[in-house]
């Protein structure tokens, strides 16, 4: 068999360029991370050659003896790691997993309630451009305009008025601990299912630095990348046997055919890694790093949504009169710091422009950076923003960033 560079030099070159970019850039996108070599080996394994419609020991194709074993392994590891009675590991990613969970709990046209996109929710929590807003009657709650924390008075009022079938909690751009029990109280008051989307914070939950919704929410969904540091896949979990059966049927044959068995194998590896003491230390360090980075951004007169962070991420709000998120994202990127422009509460600009940026520490923590590096990065970010029109200054800062990244190799 020929190697990639012999078969397709162009793709091989692009991979090399991407490897170089990842080494030289400081990645502060909170939904990104670096997988281990072991995870990537499983992801590129011969399991990618197999078709395995169905579930372990109940397949529609022959030749699935070892697929059954690896999927069973992933399931058992997920159950043990999160303390649940059931786990489906076949979801292709977070959005399909949320769709499967919704369709297992509700009918098309039913009402679901989730946080609005501008307040920190995800597209799949009811955005009108997503399936969640097209297939369901979506109602959105927001954050309190003063504290920028979840407004539970509004949540309770909206739930009482609209009687949703599902209330969704767990967010993509909310920097504070999620109070699962408060959501449970609201859900119980209107007879709604509670779905916790822990895609961003799964690794923090495993590390014990964020509370778990297991035992509180009816269903828990998560991606397997982000803070969990695995491949791009998903897990759907519950302790309810009836809901477990519905979830399995909704994933297959409801929404998918054969699962990606190579991804399943890589998930199994990532879950084993996440069960180690070193991973727990990693999760603790993520939050330490985030708090220090947030502190130094604040010291440089950058306004943080809600005043700081309890988790792995933070939002900087430049306001209506400040630079746009897009402008700052591009300036930082030119110097080698990668963030994403992001909407903020009370957003007045369009989603492709925005008034803020979102930053997180999972990836830099994987590289071994700690509090000292966060101080430096916080100061560099402020320096770039303040000198974003000065190309000479930006080149000087870019040189500092390259020197920093050479000390912390990518796995």
Q: What percent of the chain has pLDDT over 90?
A: 100
327 among known catalytic residues: no
Residue 63 has pLDDT above 90, yes or no: yes
Q: Is 123 annotated as a binding residue?
A: yes
Q: What is the mean pLDDT of residues 371-393?
A: 96
pLDDT band, very low/low/confident/very high, at 1 (cuts 50, 70, 90): confident
248 included as an active-site residue: no
CA distance 154 to 141: 7
Q: What is the pLDDT of residue 105?
A: 98
- Reported as a pLDDT band with limits 50, 70 and 90, residue 330 is very high
Q: Are 272 and 230 in contact (CB under 8 A)?
A: no
Q: pLDDT tens across 126-154, in order?
A: 999 999 999 999 999 999 999 999 999 99
- Whole-number pLDDT of residue 83: 98
- Residue 67's pLDDT is 98
Average pLDDT (310-320) is 97
Please provide the size of the chain in residues.
Answer: 411
* Catalytic member of 23, 51, 68, 79: 51
Residues 6+ apart with CB under 8 A from 364: 26, 27, 28, 289, 373, 374, 377, 408
Catalytic residue among 53, 69, 144, 371: 53
Report pTM.
Answer: 0.96
Q: What is the pLDDT of residues 277-289, one digit of tens each?
A: 999 999 999 999 9
pLDDT at position 16 is 97
Helix (H, G, I), strand (E, B) or coil at 238: strand
Does 162 belong to an annotated binding site? no
139 has which bridge partners?
113
Rounded (5°) CA angle 287-342-209: 15
Q: Is 41 one of the annotated active-site residues of the chain?
A: no
**Of 35, 124, 172, 223, catalytic:** 223
pLDDT, tens only, 150-200: 999 999 999 999 999 999 999 999 999 999 999 999 999 999 999 999 999
For residue 46, is pLDDT > 90?
yes
Sorted by where each starts, the structural domains of the chain and their CATH numbers stand as 41-274 (3.40.640.10), 277-406 (3.90.1150.10)
Residue 218: enclosing H or E segment and its boundaries? Answer: none
Residue 318 · residue 328 · CB < 8 Å: yes
Asked about 407 being catalytic, the answer comes back as no
Helix (H) or strand (E) holding 303: none
Q: Respond yes or no: is residue 53 known to be catalytic.
A: yes
Summarize pLDDT for 196-246 with one digit per residue, the tens: 999 999 999 999 999 999 999 999 999 999 999 999 999 999 999 999 999
DSSP class of residue 84 equals: -
**Mean residue pLDDT across the chain:** 97
241 is in an annotated binding site: yes
- 34 has catalytic annotation: no
């Amino acid at each position: 068999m020929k190697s990639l560079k012999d078969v397709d030099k162009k793709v091989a070159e692009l991979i090399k360029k991407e490897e170089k970019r990842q080494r030289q850039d400081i990645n502060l996108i909170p939904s990104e991370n670096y997988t281990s070599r072991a995870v990537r080996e499983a992801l590129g394994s011969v399991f990618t050659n197999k078709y395995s419609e169905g579930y372990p020991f109940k397949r529609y194709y022959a030749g699935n003896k070892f697929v059954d074993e690896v999927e069973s392994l992933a399931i058992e590891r997920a159950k043990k790691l999160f303390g649940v009675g059931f786990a489906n590991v076949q979801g292709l990613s977070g959005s399909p997993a949320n769709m499967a969970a919704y369709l297992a709990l509700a009918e098309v046209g039913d009402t679901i309630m989730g946080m609005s996109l501008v307040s920190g929710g995800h597209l799949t929590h009811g955005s009108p451009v997503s399936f969640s807003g097209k297939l369901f009657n979506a109602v959105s709650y927001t954050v309190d305009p003063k504290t920028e924390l979840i407004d539970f008075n509004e949540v309770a009022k909206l739930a009482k008025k609209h009687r949703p079938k599902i209330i969704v909690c767990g967010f993509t751009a909310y920097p504070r601990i999620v109070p699962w029990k408060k959501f449970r109280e609201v859900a119980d008051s209107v007879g709604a299912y509670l779905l916790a989307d822990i895609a961003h914070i799964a690794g923090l939950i495993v590390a014990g630095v964020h509370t778990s919704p297991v035992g509180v929410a009816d269903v828990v969904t998560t991606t397997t990348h982000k803070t969990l540091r695995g491949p791009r896949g998903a897990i759907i979990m519950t302790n309810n046997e009836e809901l477990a059966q519905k979830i399995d049927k909704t994933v297959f044959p409801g929404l998918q055919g054969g699962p990606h068995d190579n991804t399943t194998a890589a998930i199994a590896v990532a879950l084993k890694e996440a069960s180690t003491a070193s991973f727990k230390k990693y999760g603790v360090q993520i939050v330490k790093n985030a708090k220090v980075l947030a502190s130094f951004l604040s010291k440089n007169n950058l306004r943080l949504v809600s005043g700081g962070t309890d988790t792995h991420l933070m939002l900087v709000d430049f306001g209506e009169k400040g630079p746009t998120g897009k402008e700052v994202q591009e300036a930082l990127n030119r110097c080698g710091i990668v963030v994403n422009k992001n909407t903020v509460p009370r957003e007045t600009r369009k989603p492709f422009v925005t008034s803020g940026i979102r930053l997180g520490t999972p990836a830099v923590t994987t590289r071994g950076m700690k509090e000292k590096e966060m101080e430096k990065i916080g100061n560099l970010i402020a320096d770039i923003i303040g000198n974003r029109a000065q190309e000479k200054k930006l080149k000087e800062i870019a040189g500092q960033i390259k020197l920093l990244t050479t000390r912390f190799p990518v796995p």
